[in-house]
Amino acid sequence: MSSVGLGAAAAAPGHAPIMRTPMGGTEDLWVPSSMGPIKVQVQWAARGGSAALYLLDGLRAPGDHSQWTTDTNAMRQFAGDNVTLVFPVGGHSSFYTDWYRPSSSNGQTTTYKWETFLTQELPAFLEGYGVSRTNNAIVGPSMGGNAALTLAAHHRDQFKFAGSFSGYVHPTFPLWSEAMRAAMRDEGNFNVDDMWGPTSDPAWNRNDATNQAELLRGLPMYLWTGNAVPGLPDLSNGVTNTVNAMGLEGITMVANQMFRDRVAALGIGARIDFGQGTHTWPYWQQALANCRTQILDAVGGY
């Protein structure tokens, strides 16, 4: 990707508005935020359209790139489409939410404010490039899956589609908070209590896609989860990684079954697929391909 320096990127929205996005190509932007400058990788809409698809990362989100850009063919999937792909970089163990305070267990000095960034600061910045603030889709795997659904639930004016792939979509279910605690401790020694407080805190309920299902009524959605049975994409992962991916996917399968039952009971439409696979990127690449037409229909990205 070409790179826009921090000074240039920060200044761009202050210039005369760009009425149409650049036509195709990729770029690295640095976006001002309360967390400091955030790198955002973009692939501009093929014909300069204003629609956008936000692609969130998983729990292990690297600090220098989105795994969607290196571990999948997402950019190629949408290369000819009139929708800008937006890849926020970072958010390691953040669940893409606004935390109460910095993590007290790893020396973090800045409070994660990812919901604020994704729904206020980043859309305002991209508007300077002609990207709509109100015609977006959002998807994510694992950690990003629940976040995609909850962000769409609470910001229906911004998102017209939401997709969750192997998402942890029911974090308030008993003992899930402890599973999250262990995962976040393992990934960067983050403290879940500094994110949403004790499990009795309303923040847990607000960030639970299953509990917030009513807010998703009428929103086009796609959820995919594997059955924890390894397939061909797992052959190159090694035994240890595959066993871990099987265990993680078994947990997400149960959560997604609960989400499925919840929306069915409420009479809320959603496309939900269960297939063979584990908790790893090749399956999420295919899940994105599965819902590409839904995304383009929702935002008019043809």
Residues marked as catalytic: 142, 249, 279
Residues 6+ apart with CB under 8 A from 293: none
**CB-based contact 155:119 (threshold 8 Å):** yes
Residue 237 CB-half CA count within 13 A: 22
**CB-based contact 156:216 (threshold 8 Å):** no
- ∠ at Cα 223 (220, 224), nearest 5°? 150
CA distances from 271 to 4, 135, 263, 285, 297 (A): 38, 20, 11, 17, 14
**CB-based contact 82:47 (threshold 8 Å):** yes
- Kindly provide the residue ranges of all beta strands, DSSP E only, lying in 200-282, ordered along the sequence: 221-226, 271-275
